[in-house]
């Protein structure tokens, strides 16, 4: 097919046949969107040749950008050698075995076992199965209730959407009745008049209150992201995670850290749990484990849980056709090798993140900016009409949508969540490229202010 000749038809075919995730189907069928055709380093190009700096690392996953031939070569070689075989029926493949060991090597000492999935959603579904099995083997099947947080995102399968706290998803889905939610640690939104550390303790202690309400003998686990990513890059106060950890330890509650977004360097360490001193019993990973080049997710299982699973007879009746897919595992191995050998994470933490966060903090005086929040290599800029009252810029987050669209046209791919502009640039960006990102964001903010007469 001649790509140039077909480009004019791509959008029509897209609108006619392709149902996209998290999309208003009726609106998309009439207006359409962008078709991306290639990528290089940290830049993406649409079918019209429009170049954009990817300030979102794909979807929080291309931490190494798009030009990583070693990952491509690893996948290609594996496809020639063993393109697929399953992990059921006492079977395994070399890349999956090697990746399991490589993941154990980069996580904390208590993690010695891995269960592979294809996505973060499936990994969080797996967490529910692991937690249920853990307590069944102990003879405590009544411990099945899970506590999560409002505005959290843990995936979009029925189970994962239930774990998440996104109202729009819950409005469209009959979720699991044994999942419950407490407030998110978002001081700007939930406790705007409170001192941050006092607020952190207050919302953390909602976990204890919910445990008491449900009954400690019925609560199995608490699940949370170290930093809520899709919820708007919600940075918890310093007091929050130590108190959550205390409660889980004292109340015999498993702690699940969802590292799908925070993992593999985004917060400045390998995992957000390290950044915040969290000691999870189960740890969800996906996205950046393969740099987004292949679909792969999974759960790191601590010795506390694994020892129980390994101590009893009986099949764990859960699995996926593509668990431990050899080509995806090869991509994961190549990605981890680059992260280790090229000191990507330490360089991002020591050089890029301070520069990025410093530049963004300069925006706090902009007339549209109510708050700048961030950690490591991701951040959010909250838009307001009035700083003092925190009045929203426009109804239904229309102001942030306008700002996002403006940034896109300027050549910057950022995302809008609620009234915030969120960004997570690749860990291989240069400081000059980060400057370019912020400069384009400022242009978008200025244009948005003018549009709304502010």
- Give the residue-averaged pLDDT of 158-164: 95
Query: Which residue, 23, 14, 260, is CA-closest to 152?
Result: 260
Output the pLDDT for position 124.
98
Output the pLDDT for position 314.
86
- Give the residue-averaged pLDDT of 101-114: 97
Architecture of domain 70-342: 3-Layer(aba) Sandwich (3.40)
Instruction: List the chain domain ranges.
Output: 34-67+344-452, 70-342
Between CA 318 and CA 330, with CA 324 as vertex, the angle to 5 degrees is: 170
Residue 232 near residue 422, CB atoms below 8 Å:
yes
Q: How far is CA 148 from CA 119, 130, 185, 374, 440, in A?
A: 19, 17, 12, 22, 36
- Distance in angstroms (rounded) separating the CA atoms of residues 65 and 57: 7
CB atoms within 10 A of CB 249: 11
pLDDT exceeds 70 at position 452: yes
Which residues are CB-neighbours of 161 under 8 A, at least 6 positions away? 154, 155, 169, 170, 173, 175
- Per-residue pLDDT tens over the stretch 331-386: 999 999 999 999 999 999 999 999 999 999 999 999 999 999 999 999 999 999 99
pLDDT: which is higher, 10 or 360: 360
Residue 434 near residue 425, CB atoms below 8 Å:
yes
Residue 383 near residue 400, CB atoms below 8 Å:
yes
Residue 232 near residue 209, CB atoms below 8 Å:
no
- Distance in angstroms (rounded) separating the CA atoms of residues 79 and 68: 17
pLDDT exceeds 60 at position 1: no
Report the predicted TM-score, pTM, of the whole model to 2 decimal places: 0.95
Q: How confident is the model at residue 136 (pLDDT cuts 50, 70, 90)?
A: very high
- Whole-number average pLDDT of the chain: 95
pLDDT exceeds 70 at position 7: no
Output the pLDDT for position 21.
86
pLDDT exceeds 80 at position 6: no
CATH T-level assignment (fold) for domain 34-67+344-452: 3.90.1150
Three-state SS string over 107-164 comes to: CCCCEEEEEEECCHHHHHHHHHHHHHHHHHHCCCCCCCEEEEECCCCCCCCHHHHHHC
pLDDT exceeds 90 at position 436: yes
Give the chain's end-to-end CA distance (angstroms, integer): 49
What is the chain's alpha carbon radius of gyration, rounded to the nearest angstrom? 22
Q: How confident is the model at residue 2 (pLDDT cuts 50, 70, 90)?
A: very low
pLDDT exceeds 60 at position 262: yes
């Amino acid at each position: 097919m001649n790509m140039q000749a077909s480009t004019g038809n791509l959008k029509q075919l897209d609108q006619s046949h392709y149902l996209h995730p998290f999309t208003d189907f009726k609106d998309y069928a009439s207006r359409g969107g962008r078709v991306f055709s290639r990528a290089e380093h940290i830049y993406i190009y649409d079918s019209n040749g429009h170049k954009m700096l990817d300030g979102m690392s794909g979807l929080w996953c291309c931490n190494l950008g798009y030009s990583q031939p070693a990952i491509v070569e690893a996948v290609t070689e594996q496809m020639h050698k063993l393109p697929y075989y399953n992990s059921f029926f006492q079977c395994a493949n070399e890349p999956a075995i090697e990746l399991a060991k490589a993941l154990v090597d980069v996580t904390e000492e208590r993690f010695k076992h891995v269960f592979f999935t294809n996505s973060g959603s499936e990994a969080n579904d797996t967490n529910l199965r692991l937690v249920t099995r853990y307590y069944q083997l102990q003879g405590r099947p009544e411990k099945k209730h899970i506590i999560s947080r409002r505005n959290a995102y843990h995936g979009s399968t029925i189970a994962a959407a239930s774990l998440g706290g996104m109202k729009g998803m819950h409005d469209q889905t009959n979720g699991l009745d044994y999942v419950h939610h407490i407030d998110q640690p978002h001081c700007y939104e939930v406790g705007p008049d409170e001192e941050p550390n006092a607020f952190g303790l207050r919302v953390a202690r909602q976990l204890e209150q919910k445990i008491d309400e449900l009954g400690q003998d019925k609560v199995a686990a608490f699940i949370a992201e170290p930093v809520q990513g899709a919820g708007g890059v919600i940075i918890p106060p310093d007091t929050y995670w130590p108190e959550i950890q205390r409660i889980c330890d004292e109340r015999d509650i498993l702690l699940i850290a969802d590292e799908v977004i925070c993992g593999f360097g985004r917060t400045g360490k390998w995992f957000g749990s390290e950044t915040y001193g969290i000691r999870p019993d189960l740890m969800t990973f996906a996205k950046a484990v393969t740099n987004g080049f292949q679909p792969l997710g999974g759960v790191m299982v601590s010795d506390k849980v694994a020892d129980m699973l390994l101590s009893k007879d009986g099949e764990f009746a859960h699995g996926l056709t593509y668990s431990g897919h050899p080509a995806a595992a090869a991509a994961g191995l190549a990605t981890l090798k680059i992260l280790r050998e090229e000191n990507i994470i330490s360089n991002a933490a020591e050089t890029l993140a301070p520069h990025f966060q410093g530049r963004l903090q300069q925006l706090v005086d902009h007339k549209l900016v109510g708050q700048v929040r961030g950690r490591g290599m991701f951040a959010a800029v909250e838009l307001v009409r009035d700083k003092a009252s925190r009045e929203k810029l426009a109804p239904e987050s229309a102001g942030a949508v306008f700002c996002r669209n403006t940034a896109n046209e300027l050549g910057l791919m950022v995302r809008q969540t609620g009234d915030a502009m969120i960004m997570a640039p690749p860990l291989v960006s240069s400081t000059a490229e980060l400057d370019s990102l912020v400069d384009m964001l400022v242009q978008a903010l200025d244009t948005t202010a003018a549009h709304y007469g502010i």
